[in-house]
Amino acid sequence: MSPGASGGLEAQVRGRRREKPILLMAHAVVGYPSIEANWSMLEAMDAAGVDIVELQLPFSEPIADGPLFIKANQEAIAAGVAWEGYFRLVERAAAAFRFPVLFMGYYNSILQMGEERFAERLAGAGGRGFIAADLPPEEAETLHAAARRRGLDPILIMTPMNSPERLAAIAGSASGFVYCVARKGVTGKRTELSTGVRAFLERARAATRLPLALGFGIKTPEDVRAARGLADIAIVGTACLEAWEAGGRDGYRKFIEGLAAETA
């Protein structure tokens, strides 16, 4: 169920899935540790064959994020990164790389800009869709309409706590793919891809025909391999930033290459 979807992201995901057992989606906080470092990350992602990238707009209260991402958001804001710098990076990345670029952030930022202007700017920069982590679908109708008029896909979030009825309601507003959170809590902790995750993804598949992306706690190549047959997309976020913090550009490149090798 993907009403009004016009961005073509779902078709692109399905096309890639015909070639690979699972896709890889990576994440960066724009402005941390710097825009220049972000560009090196994106170059490494593209070279390794990452399939989708979410670029996070720094926000002062990132409620879905763990300590490392909170630090990254705070330092990016302190460095002066805001909408203009964000859109410049999205536009540059969308023009240079093969993967679709998605906005990730929080609704207060979108509200302050204005929904119509946000959708216009994101589409104009070459973004393909967006994840508003704290916006329930019941309150997103006008934003979703503005986005779809410009060919953007709203990526909605499903959690293990959602009832079947709630999963169906989320599915009715989603397009592109669905972001499935592997566990309760915030980003950064390791997730055991256990029977509980499998059962949750089975419930999600019963609710939607869209591809399923699995995130929150996928941190290693072994995790990506374990997600094969469960999800269509493995999302790696905090572990990417941890790799940069630990090993800089070279360590990051090797880490991304190791993840991507498990999608071949």
The β-bridge partners of 180 are 158, 214
75 is catalytic: no
134 is catalytic: no
With 0-12 / 13-18 / 19 or more C-beta atoms within 10 angstroms meaning exposed / middle / buried, residue 101 is buried
In whole angstroms, what is the distance from residue 85 CA to residue 236 CA? 24
Q: Which two tokens stand for residue 249?
A: 């550009």
Q: Which of 10, 51, 54, 262 is catalytic?
A: 54
Contact 104, 133 (CB under 8 A): yes
In whole angstroms, what is the distance from residue 159 CA to residue 180 CA? 6
In whole angstroms, what is the distance from residue 243 CA to residue 229 CA? 26
Q: Which stretches of the chain are assigned E, i.e. beta strand?
A: 23-29, 52-56, 101-105, 129-132, 153-154, 156-158, 178-181, 212-215, 233-236
Q: Which of 10, 51, 65, 153 is catalytic?
A: 65
Catalytic annotation, residues: 54, 65
